Amino acid sequence: MRALAAFMVLLAWQAAALAQPPYYLPSNPYYAQPAAVQSGISHFGWQPNGWRVSESKHFIVCHRDDAVAERVMRIAEKTRTKMIDKWFDDGPVVGWPGKCYIYVYGSADEYSWKTGTPALSPGHTSAKWEPNDASRLTSISVHVRIDYPSMFDAVLPHEVTHAVLSGQFGTKPIPRWADEGMAVLSEPSVEIEKHKQRLQRAYDDGKLYGSGDLMQMRDYPSGDEKRGIFYAQGVYLTKFLCERKGNVVFANFLRTAQKKGWEEALKKHYAFDNFKSLDDAWHDWLGFKAKKDNSKTVSSPGGWI
């Protein structure tokens, strides 16, 4: 019990430490000047809180290695620009409250210990906003771990996409299925294809969600299998709708749905009268009808991001 109490105190201390900005910020003149500046990237070296800190135009990275931080910032800046252009056609977007923090942990254990997230997870994004208005962000941070094999190629673009999407859909937060669908579509095609395999098996087993159920879910379903199906459907429903009318129409469809409901948004942007006509068209597009091979195997998801 005493060990548990000590652990809880430690967790609270870690949470408080993470909530503090790095000490180099201009409000602290001792750290106002970077140790090195290179092509829009500044390195501020070790800070009293145990992180090295680097900064680019839109990101502040807390890390342990300047070369890693440079790679992280280049990917993050590129992903941010690409996602704004992809989903909002380079139009006006809701700004972040300052720069987005990216924490690069050294291991799954450190990541889990400092964030309270299961060590199986490759990373996550944390967005906070003012009460009853998701478009008024108060903080935004991305958390990844360097030991995850596809951290640079898949996890980081995925999480930065979540950060870009935060706050862009009115007073309500972006629906989970679309948030994950759009984030996974930022990953390499080999990662996207894994969700197709999972979707095929769920279809064969009769375990797919109806699109109405999927769209109205406020949070992730519990259990690995259901969560895997939820992700796979989110990805391939997003892909289907984007191929039908384009990425920007899809983003506008989400905005309409937040204000007027899903079925009205489906009618307005895609001319589907109801969820059933969407499901029928989506199943046709997937081309799953003739396939009934239950012996397929699906690779382990390795955690959700």
Query: If residue 264 lies in a helix (H) or strand (E), which one and from where to where?
Result: helix 262-270
Strand 123-130 versus strand 133-145 pairing type: antiparallel
Site for Zn ion (CB under 5 A): how many residues?
3
Nearer to Zn ion, 108 or 142 (CB): 142
| Rounded Cα–Cα distance for residues 14 and 17 (Å) | 5
Q: How far is the CB of 201 from Zn ion (least distance, A)?
A: 21
| Rounded Cα–Cα distance for residues 113 and 118 (Å) | 9
- For 16, half-sphere exposure in the C-beta direction (CA atoms, 13 angstrom radius) is 6
User: Which of 102, 199, 257, 305: binder of Zn ion (CB under 5 A)?
Assistant: 305
Residue of 251, 245, 176, 180 lying closest to 215 (CA atoms): 176
Nearer to Zn ion, 185 or 305 (CB): 305
Q: How far is the CB of 21 from Zn ion (least distance, A)?
A: 25
Q: What are phi and psi of 127, to 5 degrees?
A: -120, 135
DSSP string, 182-221: HHHTTS-HHHHHHHHHHHHHHHHTT-PPPHHHHHH--SPP
Nearer to Zn ion, 125 or 256 (CB): 125
Local structure of residue 283 (DSSP, 8 states): H
Q: How far is the CB of 50 from Zn ion (least distance, A)?
A: 27
| Rounded Cα–Cα distance for residues 299 and 161 (Å) | 24
Q: How far is the CB of 142 from Zn ion (least distance, A)?
A: 11
Binding to Zn ion by residue 134, rule CB under 5 A? Answer: no
Q: How far is the CB of 132 from Zn ion (least distance, A)?
A: 24
Nearer to Zn ion, 40 or 118 (CB): 118
Nearer to Zn ion, 102 or 305 (CB): 305
Binding to Zn ion by residue 235, rule CB under 5 A? Answer: no
Q: Which of residues 158-197 bind Zn ion (CB under 5 A)?
A: 180, 183
3-state secondary structure of 237: helix
| Rounded Cα–Cα distance for residues 147 and 121 (Å) | 12
Q: How far is the CB of 183 from Zn ion (least distance, A)?
A: 4
Nearer to Zn ion, 137 or 182 (CB): 182
**Burial class of residue 277 in the structure, from the number of CB atoms within 10 Å of its CB (0-12 exposed, 13-18 middle, 19+ buried):** middle
Nearer to Zn ion, 266 or 305 (CB): 305
| Rounded Cα–Cα distance for residues 1 and 221 (Å) | 32
Q: How far is the CB of 179 from Zn ion (least distance, A)?
A: 7
Q: Which of residues 49-68 bind Zn ion (CB under 5 A)?
A: none
Binding to Zn ion by residue 155, rule CB under 5 A? Answer: no
* Interacting residues toward Zn ion by CB under 5 A: 180, 183, 305
